[in-house]
Structure formats: C-alpha cells, structure tokens
Amino acid sequence: MSFVDHPLLEKPSVDIPTLLMSLGEISVALPTMSVAEIVSGVVIRPVKDGPQWLSGEVRWRERAVPLIDLQFLATERSYDYQEGDPIAVLNSAGGSDHYRFFAIRLQTVPRILRLMAPDLTEVENVALPGMAMALKINEVQYWLPDLVEIEQHWISFVERIANR
C-alpha cells in the first residue's frame, strides 16, 4: 500500500505521524509505524562478499540486522557516511518470516511531521530502485521506500550465499 492510498488519507482531518530522513542525496518519508527505532553509535560489521548496497550488519537488541545503504540502492552512488551517523531500524515488510528487521543508513537524525492528505502530492513519472514513489510534501520532494523490495534484495543475497 502506498502512502497516497493509505486509508487514513481518505479522512483529510486524520494525520499520519511521519519521519523525514536524509540519506545523502535523497530524502525519504516513512510512517512512524514502519520504524522500530532510531539508533546511533552502532558498530557496523562488514559482510563478506556483500553487494555494494549492503553496508554490513549491526547488532540491535541482541539480533544481527542487515544495514542497507538505501542511497546506493536507489542511485548507485555512495554517500560518505560518518562514523556514528544514525541508522533507522525498520520493521519487516512481510517479505520473509525469517527476517523481522533491517536497518538503513541515515545522514541526519530524522524529524517527525504529522502529515494530512492535503499535504501530499504524488510526483508522476519518476522512479528509483527501492522506492515506491516520489511525494511532494509542502513543495519538497521525498521518496517513499518500497520496504518489500528492499527486504527482497537482502533475502536474495542470503539465498545466493546459502546456495554456494
């Protein structure tokens, strides 16, 4: 379900708490219900033979969680993240019962905004890998990540490694 098709938006007076996040060259908007936690200062462990969009793995609440560089996945351009930059741990989108969380790298701490239907406009005819759509929020363009597609990249990588 896209942000624009969200049932709450059928009621213009109902707001959706949303996190606006900078990933380097692009910015994303995610409903807060998609985000398990924002953390910083985590240690990133490299993943052997990992693709460029996989920054590594982090420990979060006693779990190993894949850390996705969504900026690279979407644009195939790296952003020079700094040590200690925050990450967003996201709830699984349902692509697999085995992976309940994954994380994305952030450039800055997200800010929260309560969005209402009149605040959103879908941007037509633009596409990026890993993104469901582009939105204009108060005249600024944000991307809505496709959490199922992002999760599927991780699942495909794990399956390739397992079949070696």
pLDDT tens readout for residues 56-87: 999 999 999 999 999 899 999 887 887 888 99
What 3-state class would DSSP assign to 9? helix
**What's the pLDDT score for residue 96?**
62
What 3-state class would DSSP assign to 109? coil
User: How many percent of the chain have pLDDT more than 70?
Assistant: 87
How large is the average pLDDT for residues 28-52?
A: 91
More confident residue, 7 or 132: 132
Distance of alpha carbon 118 from alpha carbon 15, whole angstroms: 10
Give the HSE-up count for residue 130: Cα atoms under 13 Å, Cβ half-sphere: 18
User: In Å, what is the CA distance from 56 to each residue of 105, 140, 156?
Assistant: 10, 31, 15
**What's the pLDDT score for residue 1?**
45
**What's the pLDDT score for residue 121?**
76
How large is the average pLDDT for residues 89-117?
A: 82
Report whether pLDDT(7) > 70. Answer: no
Distance of alpha carbon 51 from alpha carbon 29, whole angstroms: 25
Least confident of 24-38, 110-124, 135-149: 110-124
| pLDDT band (50, 70, 90) for residue 8 | very low
